[in-house]
Structure 1
Amino acid sequence: MELTALAIAEYLGGAVEGDPKATVSEFAKIEEATPGSLSFLSNPKYEHYLYTTKATVVLVNRDLKLEKPVEPTLVRVDDSYGALAKLLQLANAQQPRKQGIHPLACVEKSATLGQGVYIGPYVYVGEEAVVEDNAQIYPHSFIGDRARVGEGTTIYAGVKIYQDCEVGRNCIVHAGVVIGADGFGFAPQPDGSYNKIPQMGNVIVADNVEIGANTTIDRAAMGATR
């Protein structure tokens, strides 16, 4: 994605200080930036890098007062960190999304797949499971029987979603997450032993949730873990 300083300023509601035609095609930390990259300055303790950075364009707060001239073109905005987030979201939205069912995936005949889904190699989608439109399931993931993956959700590699569990729309589930394993349920017995209590509930993850790598969310004994 290539953007000029002027286009960036117009998108963010900012003001250009320098060359409005300065063009960037990547993001970089201010201390590591090279020509053609966009960076930002939010924390004052990094201000000294502004005078040595090789970045072509730098986002800065409107009230920043320069101690001396700088080489990069500046785009002054109300909140440089928030502005960077908006630009990163824009760039991420333009990344191509994978689609299609890999020949090494296993999808049970009773499963339902929506439009535009991606099912990667060595993914298993169980009986009566539902994968809604534009969901992406990366390699080595397991979607159990009657489980549901919501529209636009991304399931990264090695995720396990047990039977009857649900993940909402536009979620991001990072690698190694386990959703729906048994909770810790044991009934103590008079002889000091324990009887395992079957965990008959499920897990329901709401819309627009992001779950970090290797997180585990156990199913309920009854009802749902939410």
Structure 2
Amino acid sequence: MRLRDFAEIVNGTVIGDPDTVIAGVAGIEDARKGDITFASSERFLAALRTTEAACVIVRKPFEGVSASQLIVKNPHYAFAKAIECFYPGVSPEPGISDKAHVSDKATIGEGVVISSFAYVEKNVSIGNGSVISPGVFLGEGSKIGSNCFIYPNVTVREKVSIGDRVIVHSGTVIGSDGFGYVFENGVHYKIPQVGGVVIEDDVEIGSNVSIDRATLGNTLIGKGTKIDNLAQIAHNVKIGEKSLIVAQVAIGGSSKIGSFVTLAGQVGVADHTTIDPETILTAQSGISGRVAKGIYSGSPAFPHNIWLRAQAAFAKLPELIKKIREFENRLNKLEKGDDYDEHK
């Protein structure tokens, strides 16, 4: 592909030779002749000046760079488009494997792939162009929208509705029972979990994620939300649109997470917590109750700017303790009259 053609795809401006041939995509340190790469900021300037890449995607022009430069608004996005162009995904041939179990009461759309050892129960609906990989289980009455990709060994239990263009990675379980018990007569009595799960359009769910069904009603994952690997989302949780749930996050039951929220790695959200839209919780934060829009850190979490000052003070504690002990010793001596001279 010539650089001018790719520039049209990403609406970029070329500085250098627009007829440069692009043959591959690589990171800035690994790029070789013919590759296109990107730099997100000036801290990569030294690498830019020595790179062998044919072209570098940047937000603004850099001096002293021999490679052609492609100026775009968002270099990360343009780099993602470059990967799409040079590494197109493999599309399996539509059809139903004779080694799959598909109920005769299931509704299968056009162009659907159902691979070997998939199990599709009755009253399941699969939309046009969706791919059901080996070992996937689709429970009774579940619904898969159009152009979804369900990777191997995913379990979608009964009463689960998945929208269009949803990606679910291997090992994930959607619709497992919520963790609900009541203590009676010396035992933990199981509360029936009879609700469902609704996954809206354009959601991506990582590997080994557990999303519990609601006790009653539905657990909800909003449109465009992205969930990383190894997250736990409990019963009756509501997550808004286009939020980011990073690895090992655990969200307690009946919590409400607004739209455009970011929960960084290992964040813990207590049950019945409400988090306002556009809130960010940094890694390993713990939160409960009502959380107003802002950035929070720590466990229990508090505003990030205060947390930064607290962390700085925490690092000085050994020195402060040492000084306090010195003052205590001097004070004790003064109280005992040691080294005390009233004429000084």
TM-score by length of 1: 0.90
Aligned residue number for residue 155 of structure 1: 150
* Residue 224 of structure 1 pairs with residue 221 of structure 2: no
**Which residue of 52, 68, 74 corresponds with 2:50?**
52
Aligned residue number for residue 196 of structure 1: 190
Query: Which stretches of structure 1, 4 residues or more, deviate above 4 A after TM superposition?
Result: 89-92
**Which residue of 127, 137, 143 corresponds with 1:142?**
137
Q: CA deviation at 1:69?
A: 4.1
**Which residue of 206, 209, 220 corresponds with 2:203?**
209
Cα deviations across residues 165-221 of structure 1 (Å, max 9, x unaligned)? 1111111111111000100111210x3212111111111111111111111000111
Distance 1:148 1:36 in 2: 45
- 2:182 is paired with a residue whose SS is strand
Cα deviations across residues 140-182 of structure 1 (Å, max 9, x unaligned)? 1111111111111111111100012111111111111100010
Q: After TM superposition, list the pairs within 5 Å mapping 1:5-154 onto structure 2.
A: 5-62=3-60, 64-66=61-63, 68-70=64-66, 72-89=67-84, 94-98=88-92, 99-154=94-149
| Structure index of larger Rg | 2
Question: Which letter does structure 1 place at the counterpart of 2:36?
Answer: L
Q: CA deviation at 1:52?
A: 1.9
- Which structure has more relative contact order (CA 8 Å, sep 6+)? It is 1
* Structure 2 unaligned spans of 5+: 221-344
C-alpha RMSD of the superposition: 1.7
Distance 1:213 1:197 in 2: 28
For the 8 Å contact 2:24–2:86, the answer to whether it is kept is no
For the 8 Å contact 2:168–2:204, the answer to whether it is kept is yes
* Structure 1 unaligned spans of 5+: none
- 1:116 is paired with a residue whose SS is coil
Aligned residue number for residue 178 of structure 1: 173
- 1:48 is paired with a residue whose SS is helix
Fraction of identical pairs, as percent: 34
Q: CA deviation at 1:43?
A: 2.6
If each structure's helix is expressed as a fraction of its own residues, which one has the higher value?
Answer: 2
Q: CA deviation at 1:59?
A: 0.8
Aligned residue number for residue 342 of structure 2: none
Distance 1:171 1:47 in 2: 38
Q: CA deviation at 1:91?
A: 5.4
Distance 1:49 1:81 in 2: 17
TM-score by length of 2: 0.60
Distance 1:45 1:187 in 2: 56
